[in-house]
Structure 1
Amino acid sequence: MNVVRFVVFALSALLAGAVAWWAFDRYTGFADAPVAGIERDASLVVERGDSFAGVLGKLHALGVEPERDLEWRLLARQMGVAGRLQVGEYALEPGITPRQLLQRMHDGKVVRHRFTIVEGWNLRELRAALARAEPLVQEAASMDDAALAEALGRAGMHLEGRFLPETYLYTRGDSDLDLLQRAWAAMETTLDAAWDSRLPGLPLKDKEEALVLASIIEKETGVAEERPQIAGVFVRRLELGMKLQTDPTVIYGMGERYTGNIRRTDLDTDTPYNTYTRTGLPPTPIAMPGAHAVHAATHPAPGDTLYFVAVGDGSGRHVFTRSLREHQAAVREYLQRYRAQRKAQAQ
């Protein structure tokens, strides 16, 4: 009888050990094996108030089978994650393991999205791009410019040129107002630094005029090393009381009337932004200048040139000249190149 009991006990112990080993092997294999059922570019959004059971439900909705919920719970308990889920969006790229995903949720390593403000955009272009940005929360789309300025805490201010062009990272739940606040602060920091280190004797009353000049420089050239030269031309014209005569300001003043071409009547039609009819700077920026344009406005290159015109070879570069006679010759050369290119394209 004792022998029989011993055999039964031994067999039971062996069976229990086998079951325990099988469960342990299944558990460890689960923790570090790729999660099955996840599609490419999927993401898991953990919202405020979500329980771990709720998160498992969201994983099921994304294609993860519920048969392994016990292992998910055991692993979360072991890692101390179940009660410490951080709100946010988590990437579920193919090959991610349960352990990796839970560690991300523990550490709050959420997905960061990118939004780029392009140098030279105007406010209308910036707002249109923001309206298309996902998953950015849209709060400003229904506001006009005056309401937007008030929402940003800048009631009564003209918003053009106030947001620094660069790439901003944001997470799900951030709004367009959050991003604009950051871009505004970045421009203020950039403008303050440039103004504080400005060259002495500039014909600019304050940093606001520097921002206006920077916006014109930004629109005049996409060639970074030319910006100080462009700035030098405009600074010398301001010092001499010459009109700036820059097409981008005319275009800005035309607004929706601009359809791609400037005619002589447009140059002769007076607006606050027509630098062919008015001396000095226009009343506001005309675009969002990048940091290099802001620096160029406050650190113009020395020299004696007063004119510039495009080379016309597709490089985006300009020819800088000192006299009207030299400028007119450079314009003739540009027109010759332009006509030759048009003729070659037509053949």
Structure 2
Amino acid sequence: MKIQVRTLLIVLLLLLVGAYAGYRIILGGSEVPSSIGKDFHVQIPHNATFDEVVALLKKEGVVRKEGVFRQVAERMAYKQDPMRSGRYKIEPGWTVIHLIRHLRSGEQAPVKVILTTERTLEEVAEKVSRFIEPDAKTLEALFFNEAYLNKIGYTKDNLMSIFIPNTYEVYWNLTPEEFMERMILEHKRFWGQNDRLAKAKAMNMTPEEVYTLASIVEKETLKEEEKPTIAGTYLNRLKIGMRLQADPTVVFATRDFTTKRVTNYHTSFESPFNTYMNAGLPPGPITMTSISSIDAVLNHDKHNYTYFCAIGDGSGLHAFAEDYDQHLVNVRTYVRNLEARGLR
């Protein structure tokens, strides 16, 4: 009898050891390795199959025992077609159950899209594609889709004015249309702050027109303190019907962004963006412009200047004039300063 009891106890012990081993295999055997670090993410694209997700997780080193992962994933109803997309933060030491539960929940880690001062819509598409799932070509196609632009009330020439430079938190797997919805929302929020809409209306300008003029100011100076003065100078030209004759607009028209000097080639180039040949504002911005330049237009200096030119002394500042004669004096000073610095 004692032998039978002893045998039974041994069998039970073996069963318990086996059960515990199985438990460890499922819960601990496929845990996320500590080698991945504390800031590790996986990106599961749209329309991925279960097999593709498993292959991705194995490649990233998150899944070590594929068979166990597949078995538990099916029991936890994680397997579906297509799989849930997104960017997920993975913590080292997670069990396979914890990993699957997290991926199944759809709780994504956001990304930060950083917009600065890209010059063209193509550059915007390229920049944004570094942060989200859609590639540059897909974004670009939407930016130039005439039906879509008509729907949101923009053209390919003025769409740039929708982008307000900032850092935006979004989900990695958002669609191009969802990205634009966010930009439209941020645009409305921006113009609803600090009386910007009221100030634009008082100037008889739309937000798009203010942005367009601000983009010229943006490229005319790197000095924040000069922006309101330059903005006021261009506004004075618009008031009297004088052409803006802004060098940055002809650089944009020709796409000759590496030029160091504007020549007759640039000023005679046929384009609606050429403000030497066309009166008024160009049909849209010539760059994504900073908030400071937008506010410089809205809060421009009141003066009688209609001309300005660089001083040429290396300060990056400009000399302003109310009439052409004074402007010529300033130009001669500019030339002398360049000669004194051995730059002419």
The two structures have a TM-score, normalised by structure 1, of 0.71
Q: How much has 1:164 moved relative to structure 2?
A: 0.9
Q: Deviations over 1:120-141 (max 9, x none)?
A: 5133543565688873144355
Given that residues 210 and 294 in structure 1 are in contact (C-alpha distance below 8 angstroms), is that contact kept between their aligned partners in structure 2?
A: yes
Separation in 2 of the partners of 1:37 and 1:250?
51
Separation in 2 of the partners of 1:156 and 1:233?
28
- The one-letter amino acid of 1:281's match is L
Alignment pair present for 1:14 and 2:13: yes
Separation in 2 of the partners of 1:4 and 1:11?
10
Separation in 2 of the partners of 1:237 and 1:117?
31
Separation in 1 of the partners of 2:154 and 2:92?
52
CA distance change for structure 1 residues 305 and 14 in 2, over 3 Å: closer, same or farther? same
Report which stretch shifted further, 101-110 or 65-74: 65-74
Q: How much has 1:150 moved relative to structure 2?
A: 1.4
- The one-letter amino acid of 1:104's match is H
Aligned residue for 2:100?
102
Given that residues 31 and 98 in structure 1 are in contact (C-alpha distance below 8 angstroms), is that contact kept between their aligned partners in structure 2?
A: yes
Aligned residue for 1:150?
147
Separation in 1 of the partners of 2:102 and 2:237?
58
Equivalent residue for 1:87, pick from 43, 60, 84: 84
- The one-letter amino acid of 1:221's match is T
- The one-letter amino acid of 2:285's match is P
CA distance change for structure 1 residues 312 and 283 in 2, over 3 Å: closer, same or farther? same
Separation in 1 of the partners of 2:69 and 2:126?
47
Aligned residue for 1:221?
221
Separation in 1 of the partners of 2:199 and 2:182?
24
Separation in 2 of the partners of 1:200 and 1:151?
27
Q: Deviations over 1:34-66 (max 9, x none)?
A: 16799x977352655855x77445434555666
Separation in 2 of the partners of 1:25 and 1:143?
50
> How is 1:1-347 mapped onto 2 (pairs within 5 angstroms)?
2-24=1-23, 29-30=28-29, 34=33, 43-45=42-44, 50=49, 55-56=53-54, 58-60=56-58, 62=60, 67=65, 69-70=67-68, 73=71, 82=78, 87-90=84-87, 95=92, 97-98=94-95, 101-110=99-108, 112-113=110-111, 115-119=113-117, 121-126=119-124, 135-137=133-135, 138-139=137-138, 141=140, 145=144, 148-152=145-149, 153-154=151-152, 157-160=155-158, 161-166=160-165, 167-168=167-168, 170-191=170-191, 195-198=196-199, 202=203, 204-253=204-253, 255=254, 260=259, 261-264=261-264, 266-267=266-267, 272-312=272-312, 316-322=316-322, 324=324, 326-341=326-341
Tell me the C-alpha RMSD between the 2 structures. 4.5
Given that residues 81 and 105 in structure 1 are in contact (C-alpha distance below 8 angstroms), is that contact kept between their aligned partners in structure 2?
A: no
CA distance change for structure 1 residues 314 and 130 in 2, over 3 Å: closer, same or farther? farther
Q: Deviations over 1:287-314 (max 9, x none)?
A: 3333332232222133444433334465
Question: Number of residue pairs matched?
Answer: 335
- The one-letter amino acid of 1:87's match is R
Q: What is the percentage of aligned positions where both structures have the same residue? A: 22
Given that residues 131 and 141 in structure 1 are in contact (C-alpha distance below 8 angstroms), is that contact kept between their aligned partners in structure 2?
A: no
Unaligned residue ranges in structure 2 (runs of 5+): none
Given that residues 238 and 244 in structure 1 are in contact (C-alpha distance below 8 angstroms), is that contact kept between their aligned partners in structure 2?
A: yes
- The one-letter amino acid of 1:244's match is L
- The one-letter amino acid of 1:157's match is T
Separation in 2 of the partners of 1:196 and 1:248?
26
Partner SS, residue 280 of structure 1: coil
The two structures have a TM-score, normalised by structure 2, of 0.71
Given that residues 30 and 65 in structure 2 are in contact (C-alpha distance below 8 angstroms), is that contact kept between their aligned partners in structure 1?
A: no
CA distance change for structure 1 residues 217 and 191 in 2, over 3 Å: closer, same or farther? farther
- The one-letter amino acid of 2:199's match is R
Unaligned residue ranges in structure 1 (runs of 5+): none
CA distance change for structure 1 residues 195 and 106 in 2, over 3 Å: closer, same or farther? same
- The one-letter amino acid of 1:236's match is N
Given that residues 32 and 62 in structure 2 are in contact (C-alpha distance below 8 angstroms), is that contact kept between their aligned partners in structure 1?
A: no
Separation in 1 of the partners of 2:24 and 2:265?
82
CA distance change for structure 1 residues 303 and 47 in 2, over 3 Å: closer, same or farther? closer
